[in-house]
Amino acid sequence: MTAQVIAITRPSPGYTRVYLQSDEITCHRFGPADGFKLLLPPSSEFSGSTSSIPMPTPERDATGVPRWSNPAAQPSLRALTVRHHDRRSGVISTDVMHHERGLLASWRTGLHVGDSVTFSGMRAEWYLPAAVRNVLLIADGSALPAALIEAIPDDVDVQAYVSAENTEDLSLIPSHPHLALERVTSLTNLLHRTPRLIRTGERVQVWIAGETAEVRELRRHAVEAWHVDLGDLIARAYWKAGVTSTEADAQRLPRFVQAVSDGADLHDPALAENIDLELSA
């Protein structure tokens, strides 16, 4: 999908918000925290130049693996979240976190209103079964824009732990009548405390998103120490310390290809979780 940049704002110190418009967006049905992949020019990781030209989108081969007709033109992919969407006007916005280095930093600093942006997606990142009355959200700054909270019914109890760079960034989190929001310095602090919702002993859906190793550790802790049912646990690797997103994707590709040749269901969220979090089973 190719869209035009129609506005760029700075909603808080740690984020740039980009508004994208495309007629194709008017046809899409959005879910909460849908993810999409921005396609950036292949040479940009080396040159730092991300000039916004329309990029080729991948074909899917018979097994579902994405392929580019010209491998040399294969773009660099970066995942982002749909923060707001307005189907009638065909506009979505996305919040890009500022962190020290990376391709997205070159992209957002060189971006201008009127530029074209190509992306593929969407990938559903969340669902809430009607029977769930308690939701525990654990997110780092990369996952803060995955604004599930506005999709949670008003009568559901929500507890959220967010590791944001500064308190002003928490203003990006939507309000909710039953939201208890706490900023933590590191998500792994939660390995040493038990959230109130878990202590109630009631059924709780737990959503964790952030750095791969931290999410893997918290997921294990949620199952073993908090006794969260795997069916109520959504754990998402949003980035990986020490490697770029391109390198992390390349590391995961062999397992993905193996799963395809084993006949696995590519739409199974558990499969994506196993591969992304590099779980042994």
Ligand X SMILES: Cc1cc2nc3c(=O)[nH]c(=O)nc-3n(C[C@H](O)[C@H](O)[C@H](O)COP(=O)(O)OP(=O)(O)OC[C@H]3O[C@@H](n4cnc5c(N)ncnc54)[C@H](O)[C@@H]3O)c2cc1C
Q: Which residues would be at the binding site for ligand X (CB under 6 A)?
A: 35, 78-81, 94-97, 99, 101-105, 125, 141-142, 145, 238-245
Q: Where are the alpha helices (DSSP H) in 16-98?
A: 44-47
Interatomic CA distance for residues 113 and 16, integer angstroms: 13
Interatomic CA distance for residues 20 and 56, integer angstroms: 18
| CB nearer to ligand X: pick between 105 and 180 | 105
Give the shortest CB-264-to-ligand X separation in angstroms: 19
Q: Which residue has the tokens 């990142």?
A: 125
Cβ closest to ligand X, residue 120 vs residue 178? 120
What is the smallest separation between the CB atom of 55 and ligand X, expressed in angstroms? 15
**Gap between the Cα atoms of 11 and 84, Å rounded:** 13
CB of 199 to ligand X, least distance (A): 30
Q: Which is nearer to ligand X, 103 or 158 (CB)?
A: 103
Which of residues 96 and 135 has its CB atom nearest to ligand X in the complex? Answer: 96
Least distance CB 139 / ligand X (angstroms)? 10
* Distance (Å) of CA 153 to CA 56, 66, 129, 141: 39, 36, 11, 24
- Find the shortest distance in angstroms from Cβ 84 to ligand X: 12
Residue nearest to ligand X (CB): 102
Structure tokens at 254: 């062999």
CA-closest candidate to residue 152, choices 168, 137, 170: 137
Q: 218-248: string of b/e by CB count within 10 Å (b at 16+)?
A: bbebbeeebebeeebbbbbbbbbeeebbbeb
CB of 257 to ligand X, least distance (A): 19
User: Of the two residues 197 and 277, which places its CB atom closer to ligand X in the complex?
Assistant: 277
Neighbours of 98 (CB within 10 A): 18
Residue 64 C-alpha from the chain's centroid: 21
Shortest spacing between CB 178 and ligand X, in angstroms: 24
Nearer to ligand X, 44 or 57 (CB): 44
Residue closer to ligand X (CB basis): 35 or 197 = 35
Lay out the sheet containing 116-123: strands in order across: 76-81, 35-40, 116-123, 2-12, 15-21, 91-97, 84-86
Whether 265 and 271 have beta carbons less than 8 Å apart is answered as: yes
Give least dist CB 120 to ligand X, A: 12
Using the minimum distance from each CB to ligand X, give the nearer residue, 95 or 115.
95
Strand order in the sheet with 179-183: 179-183, 157-163, 134-140, 205-211, 233-239
